[in-house]
Amino acid sequence: MYLLIVRLQARLETVDMLQQQLSTLVASAREEPGTLAYSFYRAHDEPNVFLLHEVYRDQAAWETHMTYEPVRRALATFDTLLAASPDVTRGELVEAHGLALAATA
């Protein structure tokens, strides 16, 4: 499995627009065969910060995800929505508990 944790910091005036974009991406990810999980969270201590949790079958599935039109449209808006560049951490599943993904590892 190929994992990404992405931290997005919205401009204060674009928080709602970014949240809408991220909701669109979640809906799109449901249709992507190589996307195992795609969710986002709002930080408690920074209400303009969102954390994306993305899990793909493998790196090739992520690369395919990046070519989909909804993803390309969302990325094109990031320059106007974000206060800073996305902070991306990539990883591989080592061990899990309580996730449906644990059974597929």
What sections of the chain are H helices per DSSP?
15-29, 59-65, 69-81
Answer whether residue 20 shows pLDDT above 80: yes
The percentage of the chain sitting over the pLDDT mark of 90, rounded to a whole number, equals 88
d(CA 28, CA 101): 19
Tens of pLDDT, residue by residue over 47-68, are: 999 999 999 999 999 999 999 9
- Mean pLDDT across the stretch 18-46? 95
- Mean pLDDT across the stretch 19-40? 94
d(CA 46, CA 58): 31
- Mean pLDDT across the stretch 16-21? 96
Q: How many degrees, rounded to 5, is the angle at CA 39 between CA 17 and CA 1?
A: 140
Give me 54's structure tokens: 């993305």
Mean pLDDT of the chain: 92
What domains does the chain contain, in order, with CATH numbers?
Answer: 2-45+56-86 (3.30.70.100)
- C-alpha dihedral over 52, 58, 63, 66, to 10 degrees? -30
